[in-house]
Amino acid sequence: MQITLEALRAIVGPAHVLTGDDVHSRRVDWMTGAPCQAGAIVRPADTEQVAAVMRACYELQQPVVTHGGLTGLVHGTEASPDELVISLERMSAIEEIDQVGGTLTVQAGAPLQRVQEAAKEVGLQFPLDLGARGSCTIGGNIATNAGGVRVIRYGMMRQQVLGLEAVMADGRVVSSMNHMLKNNAGFDLKQLFIGSEGTLGIVTRAVLRLQPPTPSEQTAMVACPSFEALTGLLSHMGKALGGSLGAFEVMWQNHYRLLTETLGRHTPPIATEHPFYVIIDSLGSDAERNATQFSEALESALESELIVDAVIAQSTTQRDGLWAIREDIEGLVKGLAPVLTFDVSLPIADMQRYTNALEAQLTQRWAEAKLVVFGHLGDGNLHISVSVGSAEIEVRREVEAMVYQPLATLGGSVSAEHGIGLEKRPWLATCRSSAEIELMHTLKQALDPHRLLNRGKILS
């Protein structure tokens, strides 16, 4: 590393500069268990310390990688021995909640679940939700523009951020801590940093938009007889629930059967013989009205043969049990090991043809290949897991070509919500034009001319 440990200790204190085994014992990839290889980890306490660290790094052209909750899936937090990791784990304070304005001001290292709980304590909600809620951090959610299970109702992380503060590569602090829904005074600078994966600046604080509570939650799992019925059900429930549709999470039979029947990790609430399974959530404020509306919507779907079976959760325990099947990523990883995972988006109408063609191509190349599909159908996002008996880089590149190349003609994306990182960088041109990529390079050069921030991620 270019920067000295003494310089770092002078900024953040001796106890907050980690080296040796304290660095290597940390895992930067929860799926593979890969250890952190950085030269050191520095843990600043606030924006001022982050800025001071970056000023020192800029002077010596020391590259850095920012760490949040380390729940990413595209190798966006990998660091080499000549790189310094800036971990925001100490910056976890919830600074202010404005109940009248419906905002929450928070440091970037705060876990998502803590923000959800803080909002609930004052009778509001922070609606972003994903399986890694207990570990992922707000800064990481912002840096990757996280999605999750309620995008169909509330939008991506981008829609939840009113303002933020970021430290630039040269240590300058850009504080755009806007608390208002409307602010058209010039460029919306926060958008530079949302989804940029730490390559343009380090997000240190944010102003988040809160929503009214939805104490009434109705949840059901249903089985659909065909893809046409599945898409018809999405349209039907959206109309029948009058805007209260909170989640529409689909599991292909290969996902549902693997985790219930094959692995026995969950008791199947519905027989495993159907091609598609959906978890439907309705969020409202009037429990009686919401329950009636939900039940009537499912009954009419059954009468229209959009669904062939259904179970409605009657308790929180039952609801958690239904969601546990959808969120059992650990089970997928163990059941398909070695597994290759993908996060793509494409037009809903093309999904069945795409997955059928992919499965045919995989099994033609590897007779024992397994394909598992689930996703946020309502927002066009599929999560694809592939097992072909090897995860070697040559095999992975071959599978990637099968997964990603068709998306170019479909107008899809190689990353729906996980970002690009290192893993998807070779495929960026599949879903971004040369003009777009050129503009990305222009922004990177302007804001980080020495390429110190998360170098090599997104852009080569």
48 contacts: CB under 8 Å, gap ≥ 6: none
Cα–Cα distance measured from residue 45 to residue 205, given in angstroms and rounded to the nearest whole number: 12
**How many C-beta neighbours within 10 Å does residue 82 have?**
12
- Domain end among 327, 362, 390: 327
Confirm if 459 and 425 have CB atoms less than 8 A apart.
yes
Confirm if 164 and 201 have CB atoms less than 8 A apart.
no
Confirm if 432 and 407 have CB atoms less than 8 A apart.
no
The full 3-state SS of 217-286, as one line of letters, equals EEEEEEEECCHHHHHHHHHHHHHHCCCCEEEEEEEEHHHHHHHHHHCCCCCCCCCCCCCEEEEEEEEECC
Q: What is the CATH number of the domain that holds 67?
A: 3.30.43.10
364 lies in the same domain as 438: yes
185 lies in the same domain as 83: no
140 lies in the same domain as 202: yes
Q: What is the CATH number of the domain that holds 342?
A: 3.30.70.2740
165 lies in the same domain as 265: no
pLDDT score of 378: 87
- Read off the amino acid at residue 322: L
pLDDT score of 1: 81
pLDDT score of 160: 98
Q: Which two tokens stand for residue 55?
A: 């000023």
Confirm if 85 and 107 have CB atoms less than 8 A apart.
no
225 lies in the same domain as 323: yes
457 domain-assigned: no
154 lies in the same domain as 237: no
Cα–Cα distance measured from residue 370 to residue 243, given in angstroms and rounded to the nearest whole number: 37
181 lies in the same domain as 286: no
pLDDT score of 139: 98
83 lies in the same domain as 98: no
Instruction: Report long-range pairs for 313-321 (Cβ below 8 Å, ≥24 apart).
Output: 313/218, 313/219, 313/220, 318/219, 319/217, 319/219, 321/266, 321/267, 321/269
345 lies in the same domain as 421: yes
- Domain end among 209, 226, 260: 209
Q: What is the CATH number of the domain that holds 305?
A: 3.30.70.2190
Task: Provide the 8-state DSSP code for 373.
Answer: E
460 domain-assigned: no
Max CA separation in the chain (angstroms): 72
Q: What is the CATH number of the domain that holds 111?
A: 3.30.465.10
Question: How many angstroms from the chain centroid is the CA of residue 253?
Answer: 23
Cα–Cα distance measured from residue 274 to residue 224, given in angstroms and rounded to the nearest whole number: 7
423 domain-assigned: yes
367 lies in the same domain as 393: yes
Grouping H, G, I as helix, E, B as strand and the rest as coil, residue 381 is: strand
333 domain-assigned: no
Distances (CA, A) of 380 to 126, 143, 219, 226, 374: 23, 21, 21, 17, 11
28 domain-assigned: yes
Domain region containing 198: 94-209
Q: Which two tokens stand for residue 426?
A: 């070779």
List average pLDDT for each run of 10 residues in the chain, which is 460 residues long: 91 97 91 90 98 97 96 93 98 98 98 98 96 95 95 96 98 97 95 97 98 96 98 97 94 98 97 98 94 97 97 96 95 95 97 98 98 94 97 96 98 96 96 98 98 96
Q: Pick left, alpha or beta for residue 233 (phi over 0 → left; psi -120 to 50 → alpha; otherwise beta).
A: alpha
Model pTM? 0.94
Instruction: Report long-range pairs for 27-30 (Cβ below 8 Å, ≥24 apart).
Output: 27/70, 28/67, 28/70, 28/75, 28/77, 28/78, 28/79, 29/70, 29/75, 29/78, 30/70, 30/71
454 domain-assigned: no
The domain tally of the chain equals 4
Residues written for the chain: 460
- Nearest residue to 275 via CA among 251, 298, 244: 251
**How many C-beta neighbours within 10 Å does residue 356 have?**
12
378 domain-assigned: yes
260 domain-assigned: yes
276 lies in the same domain as 375: no
- Domain end among 73, 89, 105: 89
Q: Which two tokens stand for residue 139?
A: 């800064």
pLDDT score of 297: 97
pLDDT score of 32: 77
59 lies in the same domain as 138: no
